[in-house]
Chains A and B, each alone.
Chain A
Amino acid sequence: MNTSVQNQEHVDVLAKKGTCIEFFSAYQDMDVERMLSLCDANGTIAFVPLGSDYAGKIDSVGKAVWSALMTAFPNLDNTVKSQRYDEASDAVVCQVVIFGKQESEFAGMPSKGNDFDTEHIFIFRFNKAGKIADINVNWDHQSFVAQLTK
C-alpha cells in the first residue's frame, strides 16, 4: 500500500474517532438534535441490556431514550475513558462513564433522588460519508437499577 493511501486511512480513522467525541460532547451539552445530526438518517441503534424493544432507528429509539434520560437526569454527564479503532470491524469502541442524579421518573423507576455512575461500552460504525450508521450500547443494567432504587 502506498503512503498516500495509508495517510488517507489514518485521516479517516481520526475523523471517525472525532465524530464520536463530537457525539459525546453533544450528549454532554444535552443537545439531542446535534447528536442526531452526526448520524445517518437510517442509522440503527441497540441498547443491548434492554432487549429488542430498545433496538431500532437512531432517530426514533435513540432519540426517545436520550430525551427521557435528559429529562429524568438534568445534570447528565459523561467521561470518555478510552477510544479505540477496531480495524477488523471498522468500528470505534468507546469506554464511557455516564453519570447523573435522578430528578424524575425514568423507565418506570420513580425518583429517589439517587446518583448513578455506570460504565458503558459504545460501538460506533459509520457509512461511507462518515456519518454514524450503527450504535451498539452495553452496560451493567443490574448495577444501574440498583443504584437508582437503593
Chain B
Amino acid sequence: MLYQKFKPTASLHPFVECYFVWQGEAAQGLEVQSPPNCFSAVVFNYADPYLASQNNQESMPVPRAFVSGQFTSNYQLSLRGNIGMVGVVLKPCAVHNFFGVTMSHLVNSRAPLSYLKGVAEDELWEAVRHEYTVEGRIKILEDFMLAYLNRGKGNVSIIDESVEYIDECRGCVTVDGVAAHLGISRRYLEKKFLEKVGLSPKYYARLKRFAQLSNKIAHSDKIDWHEIVHEYGFYDQSHLAKEFLEFNRMNPSQYHLLHRELTRFVKTT
C-alpha cells in the first residue's frame, strides 16, 4: 500500500495544501475512517469503484472524478479490489476562488467534477487514467490547478484572511474575536464565510480545533490529556471526549491507537 503526499509549486501554496496518491490492493476489503479535516478536495479514481458513507448512513458510490467541500463529521470509505486514486487537497476558500462555487452546496458531498463549470471531466479523467507514473499524474493535477490560478488570485478577499487567522489560532478563537481582528462586522463575516467556505465561522473554528487536535493525537507516542484539555481550551476531559465523539464517532484514546500505526505509512515528498 502506498500513500504519498506531494507539495505544490510555490505559486499554488495559498490555495493547495498538497497532492496525494493512494495505490494498493484490498482483496479482502478495506474500511477507512476519516475525520473532518477543514479542507476540500478534487479526486480522481483510476482503479476499482468504491463507496462512501457518513455517520453509518447508507453507503453511496463515489464518482470517478469528484470535487468535495467541507465535511461536518467523520466519513467512511469502503474499498475492495485495486485502489488507485490521486487528488488535490485544497485550502478552504480555494474551490470558491478558482471555480466560483457556493461552497455550502458542496458540504458533505462529492459532486462529479463536471459540476465545476467549464472543467472537462472526461478529458482530465482519461489523462489521469492513461498516465502510468505517479509524477505524471501529479503533474496533470498541478497543470489543472495552474490553469485557474489567476482567477483564484483575483477572488482572494478578507474572508481568506479570516480563515488564515482562525487557522493560526488553531480554532481557539471566537467569531467576535475574528471580526474584531479584521475590522469587519460579525454579520458580514458570517454571510461571506458561509459562501466561500461552506460553513459558519463558528463551525469552522470548532472543526479546526478538532482537526489540529486529531493531528496531534495521531502523531504523538504518548498523550498528556490534561495538557491537551488546557492547550485547546476545553472545559474538562469530558468536554474533549464529547467533541471528539460527535465529530469522529470514537473517543480520543481509540483514535490515538488506531492512527499511531497508520501515520507511519504516510510519506511526504
Contact = CB atoms under 8 A, between A and B. Distances in A.
A77 interface: yes
A14 B95 CA distance: 15
A15 to B, nearest CB: 6
A137 B114 CA distance: 34
A17 interface: yes
A80 B198 CA distance: 13
Say which size band chain B's interface belongs to. Answer: 20 to 34
A68 interface: no
A82 B55 contact: yes
Contact of B108 (A28, A79, A80): A80
Contact of A18 (B104, B112, B202): B104
Interface residues of A, number: 24
A28 B202 contact: yes
Given A10-B115, A18-B102, A82-B54, A97 B203 contact: no
B162 interface: no
Interface string B23-67: 000000000000000000000000000000011111000000000
Contacts of B54: 81-84
B246 interface: yes
A95 interface: yes
A7 B105 contact: no
A29 interface: yes
Interface string A94-121: 0101000000000000000000010000
A140 interface: no
Given A79-B72, A79-B246, A97-B246, A25 B108 contact: no
Given A14-B109, A17-B109, A18-B104, A25 B246 contact: no
Per CB-CB distance, the 4 closest pairs between chain A and chain B, nearest first, are: A18-B105, A82-B55, A25-B200, A18-B104
Interface of B: 54-58, 72-73, 102, 104-109, 111-112, 114-115, 175, 187, 190, 194, 198-200, 202-203, 242, 246-247
Given A21-B72, A22-B194, A77-B202, 7 more contacts: A7-B115, A17-B108, A21-B104, A25-B200, A79-B246, A81-B73, A83-B72
